[in-house]
Amino acid sequence: MRGAVEVGGSKNATLGAMAACLLVGDDCLLENVPRIADIEQMADVMRSLGAKVEWDDEHTLRINSASVDRTCPDRELVGSLRGSFLVMGALLGRFGEASCPPPGGDVIGQRPIEVHLEGFRALGADVHIDADAFHARASKLRGNVFFADYPSVLGTQNAMMAAALADGTTTIVNAAAEPEVQNLAEMLNAMGARITGAGTGTITVEGVASLKPVRFPMIPDRLEAGTFAIAGVITGGEVEIQGVNLAHLTSFLYKLRQTGAVVETDGDSLRVRQHGPLKAVTVQALPYPGFATDLQAPFAVLLTQASGVSYVHERVFDNRLLYISELRKMGAEIVTTGTTVAIISGPTPLTGSSLRAMDVRAGAAFILAGLVARGRTEVTDVYHVDRGYERIDEKLRALGASIERV
């Protein structure tokens, strides 16, 4: 594959930013929003609360929460979108009351919600769970020290949004440091919040009386960037990925270079190519700034083409190697121990097969495998891929891939 490709805005940053628009009753404009299924679904979640959500142009969303008159989103919509649980923190912050049915999400392991609920409790909310939904209520939220058992990304975002309008100062200890958390903190600050420390393990939120509407850009999608970089390397091509934030890709690019791939960076773009055979490496998926769990499956596909034995250790989710049995159908030599360690022997020629995408990242990984496999690869349940990647087929085709949406 050869050529240049531009990455879009971050899916996961946008989900948080959309929820944050519930904190004010006026027009907010979100720029650089990816046109993907998860964002459309979050828009429907917000509409089910009474918010107005519309596209101003191809990648700008206008959200107005003045007419929000419900504090519990539609169950059907929430049930398949994990990020929809973010409305809890924002609704609780603005109205002192929020409910949400259990959120869905990918089948990648246990996805508890306790960190979120504990954050609300730490701020003084009364939290209870019934057969229908999680409920949180407080006559007035009060700042406090909140220790998160795990640096949960959405849990940290929920706590920040609830604390933004609380009385006094909140300290989130063991906060998630992901760029998507930083993006939300910066947006909230642009709305008038007082948040420091985002991007580290301790975030401080000084509550303010009110917030104001904002126009704010989303960060580039680091996961889309990583996926295209792997596409370039795995096909032995040369691909330039434009519009990236290199600081967000440090761990990924480090590991990519360790395989022997050549990575050149310049401002907001990077160029990748193969230089001789790829070498086996060890990868551990960890919270940021560790290697992103969302790039674990795509990277494992690359490692099937590396010479030697690679180890992949998924340490964020406890069941995110389900895609491996599908890759084996293509001839990949991968042994798993338990549900979190994969041992990959390579290089193995892959042969086209029919693979079912079980989540957004596994689906992207199968497309990458198809690019390098002999013969034809068919990826089914491709709606999973469309949840997180904008026009991935068109973008890959423009780089020279033979890929068709059926």
Distance from C-alpha of 30 to C-alpha of 68, rounded to nearest angstrom = 18
Q: Taking a C-beta distance cutoff of 8 angstroms, is the pair 215, 59 a contact?
A: no
**Residue 67 burial (10 A CB sphere; 0-12, 13-18, 19+):** exposed
Report strand pairing: 2-6 vs 238-242.
Answer: parallel
Kindly determine how many residues on this chain lie close enough to bind ligand EPU according to the rule CB under 6 A: 29
Residue 150 touching ligand EPU (CB under 6 A): yes
Residue 110 touching ligand EPU (CB under 6 A): yes
Residue 168 touching ligand EPU (CB under 6 A): no
Residue 114 touching ligand EPU (CB under 6 A): yes
Could you tell me the smallest distance in angstroms from the CB atom of residue 84 to ligand EPU? 9
Rule CB under 6 A: choose which of 5, 12, 363, 389 binds ligand EPU: 12
Q: Taking a C-beta distance cutoff of 8 angstroms, is the pair 249, 221 a contact?
A: no
Report strand pairing: 126-129 vs 97-100.
Answer: unpaired
Distance from C-alpha of 38 to C-alpha of 151, rounded to nearest angstrom = 23
Handedness of CA 88, 92, 95, 100 (dihedral sign): positive
Rule CB under 6 A: choose which of 115, 295, 301, 362 binds ligand EPU: 115
Residue 106 touching ligand EPU (CB under 6 A): yes
Residue 357 touching ligand EPU (CB under 6 A): no
Cβ nearer to ligand EPU, comparing 149 with 264: 149
Cβ nearer to ligand EPU, comparing 103 with 217: 103
Could you tell me the smallest distance in angstroms from the CB atom of residue 30 to ligand EPU? 15
Could you tell me the smallest distance in angstroms from the CB atom of residue 146 to ligand EPU? 12
Residue 388 touching ligand EPU (CB under 6 A): yes
Distance from C-alpha of 19 to C-alpha of 31, rounded to nearest angstrom = 15
Residue 211 touching ligand EPU (CB under 6 A): no
Torsion-angle region of residue 177: left (phi > 0), alpha (psi -120 to 50) or beta? alpha
Report in angstroms the alpha-carbon separations of 321 from 208, 285, 306, 374: 43, 12, 19, 23
Could you tell me the smallest distance in angstroms from the CB atom of residue 223 to ligand EPU? 6
Residue 316 touching ligand EPU (CB under 6 A): yes
Rule CB under 6 A: choose which of 238, 294, 314, 326 binds ligand EPU: 294
Residue 185 touching ligand EPU (CB under 6 A): no
> Residue 337 has which token pair?
């121990």
Interaction site with ligand EPU (CB under 6 A): 11-12, 15, 82-83, 106, 109-116, 150, 152-155, 176, 178, 180, 293-294, 316-317, 360-361, 388
